[in-house]
A and B are shown apart, each in its own frame.
Chain A
């Protein structure tokens, strides 16, 4: 695992990477959409998106929709840059392995 020491540890996690990959492809997504696509539990997903929010990789907006709370997630510029850097580093790592 030493090869991965330079990879962003925040993104080098199955669920967080899945969330960022989804958010990089859309403008914004509801929490339930992320849950449905990643097959994660609500509790685990909440914890992971909070970590991404703390790193300013995503923005979370909580609002009410038809009297039900709705959580919208959107990737930030920092998040896009981090994702691009992660993919670049990953590609470099895989090239080295070839």
Chain B
């Protein structure tokens, strides 16, 4: 069979294999959904605790995100073991999200120290940060819902500049619904279709 391989057949094999590798869609949306729902729970919880005056420290609910981070590390290790293929796209996206995580931690610590009443501006910085990895991931994956989600985060960050800071958690809720939860479900459905 190999001896009969013509030039056209060779090109067809190359084309077919590159397409197969490219169409192997390993993004199942699980992390977008996990973080989307967790941040939605925390931001709505924050607002409700404040609104009904249920706690003097409504921001304490955000401690759950540390548990989320621990779970994510375990999940990422398991997912890495299950993977049959590693692509350059996945690697790029992983570094984008690592950059985001570092930005979030450093900005919270440093800005919290140097800016008086930083809690009034915290969510604006958070929304600006959310936009970056979401937009870039969408661009790398060529996936429009994430690109739009990233842009939506920046629009909300802009709006937050004109809204009382007590309502910022609600803007954050809206951001994660549009930027992570909706794209997460679309990615999940695409991944399932591929598996059929």
- A residues sitting closer than 8 Å to B (CB atoms) are 1, 3-4, 12-15, 17-18, 21-22, 24-30, 32-33, 36-38, 65-66, 87, 90, 93-94, 97
Contact = CB atoms under 8 A, between A and B. Distances in A.
Interface stretch (B14-22, B118-126, B155-163, B180-188): B14-22
B63 interface: no
A21 B18 contact: yes
B113 interface: no
B14 A37 contact: no
Given A30-B85, A66-B81, A14 B5 contact: yes
Contacts of B81: 65-66
A90 B7 contact: yes
B193 interface: no
A69 B20 CA distance: 25
A24 B18 contact: yes
Contact of B17 (A22, A27, A28, A90): A22
Contacts of A90: 7, 10-11
Contact of A12 (B5, B21, B84, B88): B5
Contacts of B84: 29-30, 32-33, 36
Contacts, number: 78
B191 to A, nearest CB: 16
22 contacts: A3-B7, A4-B7, A12-B10, A13-B2, A17-B13, A21-B16, A26-B21, A26-B87, A26-B88, A27-B86, A28-B85, A29-B84, A29-B85, A29-B86, A30-B84, A33-B24, A33-B85, A66-B81, A90-B10, A90-B11, A93-B7, A94-B7
B136 to A, nearest CB: 19
A97 B10 CA distance: 15
A32 B84 CA distance: 7
Contacts of A14: 1-2, 5, 9, 13
Interface string B80-111: 01011111101100000000000000000000
Contacts of A18: 13, 16-17
